[in-house]
Amino acid sequence: MILGFDPGRDKCGIAVADEDLVIHYHQVIESSQAITTIKQLAHKFALNLIVMGNLTTAKTWYQKLESNFPQIPIIMVDESNSTLEARDRYWQIYPPQGFQKFIPQTMRVPPCPIDDIVAMLLIERYLQR
């Protein structure tokens, strides 16, 4: 099982998928809860890899993850343009309803944080290498 991690100052995106890209868990959480949440997920899903974004706060988070999960390899993945890609993916996962259907997709803004979708995309990017 692979954990995708989109690090951030205030919130983080987390996703757990298998190597067939079946998503078993995804959530946006407060940054202060990230380590605790990942510990719970590592126990529940027997994680064997963490892939994380390489931009915002990545170096700090890498060190935190490495010290808390020394037995799990951590790989940094390029997260360039991942937020834009995640916006598009959001509308594929949750198609617009009602009048939202008539607004061009490029003008729609997801009604909630999409950091968990970014975490899913990081797993995909890793597996497509």
Give pLDDT, residue 99: 87
Radius of gyration (C-alpha) of the chain in whole angstroms: 15
- Of all residues in the chain, the percent with pLDDT exceeding 70 is 100
pLDDT category, 107, cuts 50, 70, 90?
confident
Fold exhibited by the domain 2-127: Nucleotidyltransferase; domain 5 (3.30.420)
pTM value is: 0.93
The β-bridge partners of 4 are 15, 51
Give pLDDT, residue 56: 77
pLDDT digits (tens, 9 = 90+) for 17-68: 998 999 999 999 999 999 999 999 999 999 999 999 998 789 999 999 999 9
Give pLDDT, residue 48: 95
Helix/strand/coil percent split, the chain, to 5: 45, 20, 30
pLDDT category, 106, cuts 50, 70, 90?
confident
Q: Write down the domain spans for the chain.
A: 2-127
Give pLDDT, residue 104: 87
